[in-house]
């Protein structure tokens, strides 16, 4: 259905995924300005239009082929997929890759005074949730009877308001649960943001643009996860030092002026270096350690 020559990408208008979705596209070289009042933002330098919508609408827009790509939480994608399968509506799309933001988990939680042993403790309870399909799948797998109370927001206050016995809601730090006198008992789904593509046939031009964006995204995410590391190391502990740098098996080793006992190491590490590792490096005689962010990476 997406007849437009321009590639359409749906992103969340405002919420937990919107800033990072925009930032990721900008890091991939897509230039655009968002007008808060407008649904569509046109990219200036590529044939791309961004559709800014409620996150709940994104999977459906992609599955119906109204837009070509969407950036969405896996939790919302999976919930919509089950919903549409139940209703016999088109539910297919392709997950191109998981992204490096939007981490959260969908969990069951009950009031602090509730004595929870295992999932069977939930038998016969009423659970408030915005994710009735993911909840049903979990409860069916465990063979537990329950009733649900569908709430689009403020799920965490439902037990205190007498609307439900427990909740099934998204958690990242757990602070909201704690503030509402609830504790987490089961994680039923772990989620990250992801980018999805419609299964409609694409013109070769549009598919080439999708491939280009995806390849740039891979580079941006790999660069964000990696660090450029420079240090001086005694030649005798060189191997041990290299072994401490994650993913830097083949570092560049350079001689130092007027010092034959020490070398300079340049390496790209696939992970950030934690203080613990820095301390282990210095214990092995490493000095002048610099850990630097990498802006772009390809190949």
User: Contact positions toward ligand ATP, by CB under 6 A?
Assistant: 12, 15-17, 54-56, 73, 75-76, 102, 104, 170, 172, 191
Interface with Mg ion includes 83 (CB under 5 A)? no
Write down the least CB distance from residue 56 to Mg ion, Å: 4
Write down the least CB distance from residue 130 to Mg ion, Å: 8
Interface with Mg ion includes 79 (CB under 5 A)? no
Q: Which is nearer to ligand ATP, 9 or 104 (CB)?
A: 104
Interface with Mg ion includes 55 (CB under 5 A)? yes
Point out the residue whose Cβ comes nearest to ligand ATP: 73
Interface with Mg ion includes 56 (CB under 5 A)? yes
Find how far residue 42's CA is from the centre of its chain: 25
How big is the site for Mg ion, counted in residues (CB under 5 A)? 2
Write down the least CB distance from residue 89 to ligand ATP, Å: 20
| 79 binding partner (options Mg ion, ligand ATP, none; Cβ < 5 to 8 Å by kind) | none
Write down the least CB distance from residue 181 to Mg ion, Å: 25
Q: Are 120 and 141 in contact (CB under 8 A)?
A: no
Find how far residue 48's CA is from the centre of its chain: 22
| 104 binding partner (options Mg ion, ligand ATP, none; Cβ < 5 to 8 Å by kind) | ligand ATP
Write down the least CB distance from residue 73 to Mg ion, Å: 9
Q: Which is nearer to Mg ion, 55 or 165 (CB)?
A: 55
Q: Are 195 and 215 in contact (CB under 8 A)?
A: no
Q: Which is nearer to Mg ion, 5 or 152 (CB)?
A: 152
Pick the piece of the chain touching Mg ion (CB under 5 A) from 56-64, 82-90, 179-187, 190-198: 56-64
| 166 binding partner (options ligand ATP, Mg ion, none; Cβ < 5 to 8 Å by kind) | none
| 182 binding partner (options Mg ion, ligand ATP, none; Cβ < 5 to 8 Å by kind) | none
| 75 binding partner (options Mg ion, ligand ATP, none; Cβ < 5 to 8 Å by kind) | ligand ATP
Q: Which residues of 216-228 are buried (b: 16+ CB within 10 A; e: fewer)?
A: bbebbbbbbebbb
Query: Strand order of the sheet with strand 147-150?
Result: 147-150, 126-129, 166-171, 104-111, 182-191
Pick the piece of the chain touching Mg ion (CB under 5 A) from 20-28, 51-59, 176-184, 186-194: 51-59
Write down the least CB distance from residue 291 to ligand ATP, Å: 27
| 190 binding partner (options Mg ion, ligand ATP, none; Cβ < 5 to 8 Å by kind) | none
Maximum CA pair distance of the chain? 77
Residues at the site binding Mg ion, with contacts judged by CB under 5 A: 55-56
């Amino acid at each position: 259905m997406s007849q437009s020559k321009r590639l359409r990408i749906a992103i969340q208008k405002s919420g937990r995924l919107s800033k990072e979705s925009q930032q990721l596209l900008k890091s991939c070289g897509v230039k655009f300005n968002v007008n808060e009042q407008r649904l569509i933002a046109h990219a200036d330098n590529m044939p791309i239009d961004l559709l800014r919508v409620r996150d709940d609408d994104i999977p459906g827009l992609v599955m119906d082929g109204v837009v070509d790509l969407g950036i969405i939480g896996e939790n919302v994608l999976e919930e919509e997929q089950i919903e549409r399968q139940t209703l016999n509506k088109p539910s297919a799309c392709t997950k191109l890759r998981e992204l490096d933001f939007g981490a959260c988990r969908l969990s069951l939680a009950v009031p602090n005074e509730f004595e929870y042993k295992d999932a069977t403790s939930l038998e016969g309870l009423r659970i408030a949730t915005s994710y009735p399909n993911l909840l049903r799948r979990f409860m069916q797998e465990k063979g537990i009877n329950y009733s649900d109370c569908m709430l689009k927001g403020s799920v965490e206050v439902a037990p205190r308001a007498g609307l439900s016995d427990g909740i099934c809601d998204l958690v990242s730090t757990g602070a909201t649960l704690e503030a509402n006198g609830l504790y987490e008992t089961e994680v039923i789904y772990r989620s990250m943001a992801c980018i999805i593509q419609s299964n409609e046939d694409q013109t070769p031009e549009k598919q080439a643009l999708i491939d280009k964006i995806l390849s740039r995204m891979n580079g941006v995410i790999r660069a964000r996860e990696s660090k450029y590391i420079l240090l001086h190391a005694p030649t005798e502990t060189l191997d041990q030092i290299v072994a401490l740098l994650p993913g830097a098996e083949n570092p560049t080793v350079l001689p130092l002026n007027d010092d034959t006992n020490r070398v300079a190491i340049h390496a790209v590490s696939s992970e950030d270096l934690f203080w613990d590792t820095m301390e282990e490096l210095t214990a092995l005689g490493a000095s002048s350690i610099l850990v630097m962010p990498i802006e772009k990476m390809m190949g």
